[in-house]
A and B are shown apart, each in its own frame.
Chain A
Amino acid sequence: MTARVTTFTETMLGRVRLADEDRDRPMRLDLVVRTESVLLPHRTTRARVTGRVRIAGRADDAEAVGELEISPLARRRIRYRISFTLDGRRLALDGWKSLTPARPVASMTVLPVTLYEDGEPVGEGRLRFPLTTGLAPFLASFRFPRATEGTGDLAPRWNGEPGRTEVWYTTLTDPATGTGIWLHHEVVAPTDGSRAYAHGWVARFPKDGPVEHARFGPVPWTGQGAGYTTDGILAQPGLLTGSAGPFAWELTETPQAPPLHTFPRWSWRRPLLPASQMLPAARCVYNGTLRHSEWGELRLEQAVGASARIYGHGNARRWAWLHADLGGGDVLEIVAAVSVRPGLNRLPPLVFLRLLHNGRTWPRRSERAAVGWAGLGRFRAELGLPEWRVTGRVGRRRVRVAVTQPPERTLALDYTDPDGSGAVCRNSETADAVVTLEKWRGRWRQEAEWRLSGTAHAEVGTR
């Protein structure tokens, strides 16, 4: 049986007194918890925490991270350690519920915490899990996904069959210069049974300047290691290095979010669809350098982006892709594609849309967006250039996405399928996008809107 993990969300409310103040302030924690193994109450389970920390008037950090030690029976303790930002200072919250059978409810719900800055206490508070309003959402949030997701998803999938394509690609935006970077690593196993080869490219999308790129390979593929590995070029968990033409790069990758399956999760485990795409981590942070023999070095610090994986029979007939980091831990991933297979190629584009918002993924199942109810209610895409659009509705929510890929910031590259046929991809790592999320409350009311200017990652492919 595949090992599983546990995820759940938890909200806690209370008051905190900061050392530099003489009054309490309301405080709220909204946490998304992901354990390292299935949560068993009689054991000690460690978990990663992401979420939002709010102290009224002082702090609102939606990118708080930390860890949990969950041991309600063995150690009778549930410990929270979360770091967050307050007024530009980095604070650490440390506290634990101390469980006692004498006061089961109080001890399970009350969390005394101490806030530290550089190891010195700077505040003390008391949070409480709101049983009346919080218990039902808390219990309903429990999920037990498979544990192999994550870094294991970077391992090569290709098993020697001819006619397959496997891709590792990374896109990121340097927050300092606005430069977009695209690293593409690809393995192609031709349909004619000839030897699989690995190749790829690196591309730089300056905020204003012309796009540059350089290809590497092809070289024979050996298929060893924890990710893409050829001579001098690596795309492994936590590390991206290599050189191509005038470019050389060395980047570390730190996952900041759980995996995101753009296509149905089962299609990644069982390759029944023509192809499947997924993100081992919906959001990553990159540090390191990109060097060029002419213009020197671009030093990246806390660059935001993601790596993605594709495994399938080849490229689609037509497709569009968007990866948009919406800030605050929210991510939008879209693949809209028309298959090359006879029959399927007559269908309109199938839209796989995943919106990671407030720690939850919408729509809950990606099939819902792609095919709806036998076609009814499916999401729709209008593919084109320089602008393409996606709209869709699930339940009381609807989304509208408009992506613009200005020609001067777009790079056109030729793709080759395993059967030797070609496709043209037009990619921009400095695209613009407008994402509108609305909710029906008697009428459509805007729930959120994101406008990305030069930070969206998008491409459109045609034949």
Chain B
Amino acid sequence: MNPTVAAVAAALIAEDGTAPWAGRLRGLLDSLPAPARAGIRGAAHAIDVCAVARTGKRLGALDNAQRERLMAQLGASKALLPLLEAVKVPVLLAAGTERALHRPALPRRPAPDDPLLDLTPSRDWPSRSTADAVVIGSGAGGAIAARTLARAGLSVVVLEEGEHHSTASFGQRAPLDRFTDLYRDGGATIALGSPPLVLPVGRAVGGTTVVNSGTCYRTPDHVVARWRTRYGFAATEGFADALDEVERTLRVARQPTDVLGTNGHLALAGAAKLGWQAAPLRRNAPGCRGSCQCVVGCPSGAKQSVQLSVLPAACASGARIVTGARVRRVLTDPDRPGGPRAAGVVASRPDGSELEILSPVVVVAAGALQTPQLLRRSGLGGHPMLGRNLSVHPALSVAGRFGDPVADGRAVLQSVGVEELHSEGILIEATAAPPGMTSFVLPGVGRTLRRELESADHLATLGAMIADEPSGRVLGREHTLLRYDLSRRDASRLLRAQLAMGELLFAAGAEEVLTGVPHAPRARTPRELRELLRKVRARHLHVSAFHPTGTAAAGSAPESAPTDPAGHLRGIQGVLIADGSVLPSCPEVNPQVSIMAAALAITERWVARR
């Protein structure tokens, strides 16, 4: 690792840099996309320059007392806070997950055997092959599309860029190592804008469903009605049946309270005190053991990610999954009678060689961020709205410090939903991810930060996500390049959500509330919190985003919807869009069930009309 980055990282949490997490930090930085890595290095060098300017020595040459004094000075400077934050996020992720390793281990049980999948690494797949249908992506949409087509008797090949990770492998590896494997760009996909958003997306057999929290909301009725009437998304007719089928497949049920965890119970208690509507979430994790590692792959196999629930059924019907195959292009036959038609796909293997599969039907389910880029690479990106209309759920976290330990055993990572403000577009969910793995960033630098980290088990964390206006764009053809400009309405919703979460934590008995805002980090009373947040603007917030949707939206208006009401890409025959990008607008809840139901409806309609 770059010595400057190592010195800054060590100074940030007042360690000597010899802790084992330093190695993990190096692995994490290596997995980041080059611009993010350069940004972190640049920030570290800038901090080092400040050190030279103030002390005449580089950070690595200072003794502990000098270094601590310097960090306190830097931390007090409002102008330098963004630099410190830039380095702090990966350091917290590495150090936080390291600490999670040393938690009192839960009684280990052998990992269950996963249901059988027909997996072939791309290096073993022939360079030339054919299929009745190719599905690009094995996430929520791709899996259910593959199952539907395979059950209809088609020979289906699912192409997945990531690798397969078994439940047993999750139990054997450190969370951070899994993190870098399971997420695209090391989890640091960034949408440019003010504020910039971090938008983690999964990359593995099972897609983001491997690393989501398992929360399974049905699409709200008013959203379905809006999709059908305002946008003309005809595939949503009879959507309730599709939602039922998806819920049955994923074995969705309300999370029992036995392993809910203190974090969830505190959220319920706070909501009860305020008279707010709250309940344990509906999840796809029957028999959840409270490992609290949803975001790096469930080690107990309880969470019914699609590689455990949908893809085995697809494979049983004959579908085959090719791993490590990144689809470069959709092949098209432009001279077919009746207009251009999909002919198959070209995918690249990790060694750079290519494989081609000819197929008259191509189901694109590469995710809302990758689908527009893939279509552009294929010469199918001509529609002006392709890549636009990007909705994400901008999200932020607030933590409350409690007298008793919160992380004291089993817990569900995302346990309780507070729907009091849902009508205002704000959904609060108690989320107890390990430090660094949520959007919550602990305040302070140096010893302060270290103390926070050491007492992080007394923190309860809430997250809130905002039903946003589609204000983003997917740019480019190759590397993920996003632009997201938070709308004024959504900015005020974020601030409203932050205050609401603080109030909820105080109601639950928090001694203090950590806002996550660098220059206004903590409040001890609700009143103090309100005063504190009065000077906070949306651009100061550390905002994450999840659930990208809408970049190839379906709709009846040809000029505004790249995809037709039945989910077929306009301008070409034989291309179905079956992922989050087909949703016309923000689903307002965690979207896994919505995406799967939409993909199910689209592919079932296609099969019925075949």
Contact = CB atoms under 8 A, between A and B. Distances in A.
Contacts of B346: 98
Interface in B114-160: 126-130
A43 B337 CA distance: 12
Interface in B331-381: 331-335, 343, 346, 354, 356, 358
Contact of A95 (B128, B335, B343): B128
B574 to A, nearest CB: 14
A74 B126 contact: no
A344 B126 CA distance: 65
Contact of B333 (A74, A94, A114): A74
Given A98-B346, A98-B356, A112 B335 contact: no
A74 B127 contact: no
B554 to A, nearest CB: 28
Contacts of A44: 333, 335
A79 B129 CA distance: 12
Contacts of A121: 126, 129
A75 B334 contact: yes
Contacts of B343: 75, 77
Interface in A51-87: 71, 74-75, 77, 79
B333 A112 contact: no
A124 B126 CA distance: 7
A79 B130 CA distance: 12
A112 B334 contact: no
Contacts of A71: 333, 335
A438 to B, nearest CB: 43
B130 A94 contact: yes
B213 to A, nearest CB: 40
Contacts of B129: 94, 114, 121
Interface string A120-146: 010010100000000000000000000
Nearest to A96: B128
A121 B126 CA distance: 9
A188 interface: no
Contacts of A124: 126-127
A121 B343 CA distance: 20
A43 B335 contact: yes
Contact of A114 (B128, B332, B335, B354): B128
A113 interface: yes
Contacts of A95: 128
B335 A74 contact: yes
Contacts of A96: 128, 356, 358
B468 to A, nearest CB: 40
A45 B126 CA distance: 26
A376 B106 CA distance: 102
Nearest to A114: B126
Classify the secondary structure of A's interface with B: strand
Nearest to B343: A75
Contacts of B334: 74-75
A114 B335 CA distance: 26
A96 B334 CA distance: 17
Interface residues of A, number: 17
Interface string B297-339: 0000000000000000000000000000000000111110000
B344 to A, nearest CB: 9
Contact of A94 (B128, B332, B354): B128
A319 B370 CA distance: 76
Most buried by A among B126, B128, B335, B343: B128
A121 B128 CA distance: 10
Nearest to A111: B128
Contacts of B126: 112, 114, 121, 124
A75 B127 contact: no
Nearest to B332: A75
A114 B127 CA distance: 8
Contacts of B354: 98
A126 B332 CA distance: 24
B128 A113 contact: yes
Contacts of B331: 75, 77
B130 A75 contact: no
A136 B127 CA distance: 29
Nearest to A126: B127
A77 B335 CA distance: 12
Nearest to B356: A98
A94 to B, nearest CB: 7
A79 B344 CA distance: 13
A74 B343 CA distance: 12
A320 B427 CA distance: 96
A81 to B, nearest CB: 10
Contacts of A112: 126-128
A98 B347 CA distance: 13
B155 to A, nearest CB: 8
A98 to B, nearest CB: 6
Given A114-B129, A124-B126, A124-B127, A75 B356 contact: no
A158 B356 CA distance: 53
A358 B523 CA distance: 91
Contacts of B358: 79, 96
Contacts of B332: 75
Nearest to A81: B130
A24 to B, nearest CB: 14
Residue in A44, A74, A94, A112 with the greatest tally of chain B CB atoms within 10 Å: A112
A75 B344 CA distance: 11
B592 to A, nearest CB: 35
A108 to B, nearest CB: 15
Contacts of B130: 94
A38 to B, nearest CB: 16
Nearest to A79: B358
Interface in A75-119: 75, 77, 79, 94-96, 98, 112-114
Nearest to A124: B126
A114 B356 CA distance: 11
Contacts of A114: 126-129
Interface in B202-220: none
A340 to B, nearest CB: 54
Given A94-B128, A98-B356, 19 more contacts: A44-B335, A71-B335, A75-B331, A75-B332, A77-B343, A94-B129, A95-B128, A96-B128, A96-B356, A98-B346, A98-B354, A112-B126, A113-B128, A114-B126, A114-B127, A114-B129, A121-B126, A124-B126, A126-B127
4 smallest beta-carbon distances between A and B, as pairs? A112-B127, A74-B335, A114-B126, A95-B128
Interface of B: 126-130, 331-335, 343, 346, 354, 356, 358
23 contacts: A44-B335, A71-B333, A71-B335, A74-B333, A74-B335, A75-B331, A75-B333, A75-B334, A75-B343, A77-B331, A94-B128, A94-B129, A95-B128, A96-B356, A96-B358, A98-B346, A98-B356, A112-B126, A114-B126, A114-B128, A114-B129, A121-B129, A124-B127
Interface of A: 43-44, 71, 74-75, 77, 79, 94-96, 98, 112-114, 121, 124, 126
